[in-house]
Amino acid sequence: MRKLLAAAVAALALAGCSTGADQVDVNNGGEFRFVAGTPAGEVIAVDERASAPEFSGTLLDGGDWSSDELSGDVAVLNFWGSWCPPCRVETPEFQEVYEEVADQGVQFLGLNVKDQQQLAQAFVDNKGVTFPSLFDPAGEVALAFRDYPATAIPSTIVLDRDGRVAAVFTATVTQADLRSTLDRLLEEG
């Protein structure tokens, strides 16, 4: 048992040394290399954006949903869990921004991961969230975004109108940062 524990600790130490404490290094075959989250309020340059993966699933209310529904709009994808303290702060702020921009060609989609449906629905009801959320307890959609750190909760990925990743936030996003990012993407036409 001690040998197994020692091997696990050594593997973690080596993994931690390979990328440094302040960055993530993920590679999807050379097409896109994720090094760090997008700085607050900044957007990835148009010529450096990679297409988001296609995904689908079941909404918390039981309906079917596909990423095709985002076509032509700017999209905010927020990976959250009812058990996540930063999500409790961020979610009501996302709802406020959503209400402001919903008629401007911006869609919001919550992606509830590693949760129980009853707890997730209670969270949405309690926070007054009106934008849809996929129920993804196994984190399958987060795995589809494995080239981005969507498995860190909360994470927010913002897509441009062409379905390309334009910003990646790996921590709580403030309203100001979200608005700034959306304003820049909406200006792109």
- Name the residue with tokens 């196994």: 138
Q: What is the pLDDT of residues 128-178, one digit of tens each?
A: 999 999 999 988 888 888 777 656 788 899 999 999 999 998 888 889 999
Q: What is the mean pLDDT of residues 16-32?
A: 29
Name the pLDDT band for 18 (thresholds 50, 70, 90).
very low
- Quickly list DSSP for 31-69: S-EE-SPPPTT----GGG--BPPP-EEEBTTS-EEEGGG
How does 94-117 read in b/e, with b if 16+ C-beta sit within 10 Å? bbebbeebeeeebbbbbbbbbbee
pLDDT band for 69, please (50, 70, 90 cuts).
Answer: very high
Which percentage of the chain shows pLDDT scores above 90?
61
| pLDDT band at residue 1 using 50, 70 and 90 as cut-offs | very low
- Position 150 scores a pLDDT of 59
Asked whether the beta carbons of 112 and 133 are under 8 A apart, the reply is yes
User: What residues contact 39, with CB distance under 8 A and at least 6 apart?
Assistant: none
What is the phi/psi pair of residue 32, to 5°? -145, 135
In Å, what is the CA distance from 41 to each residue of 4, 32, 117, 136, 170? Answer: 44, 21, 32, 28, 13
Residue 80 has pLDDT above 80, yes or no: yes
Q: What is the band of 39 on the pLDDT scale with cuts at 50, 70, 90?
A: low
What's the average model confidence in pLDDT over 43-65?
93
How far out from the chain centre does Cα 188 lie? 21
pLDDT value at position 170?
Answer: 84
Residues facing residue 57 across a β-bridge? 65
Q: Give the per-residue pLDDT at 28.
A: 32
Residue 27's SS3 state is strand
Residues 6+ apart with CB under 8 A from 50: 28, 31, 32, 147, 164, 165
CATH code for residues 38-187 = 3.40.30.10
Indicate the SS3 state at residue 85: helix
pLDDT value of position 20: 28
Whether the model clears a pTM of 0.85, i.e. scores above it, the answer is: no
State the average pLDDT over residues 34-45.
59
* Residue 9: predicted pLDDT: 32
**What is the rounded average pLDDT of the residues 94-102?**
96
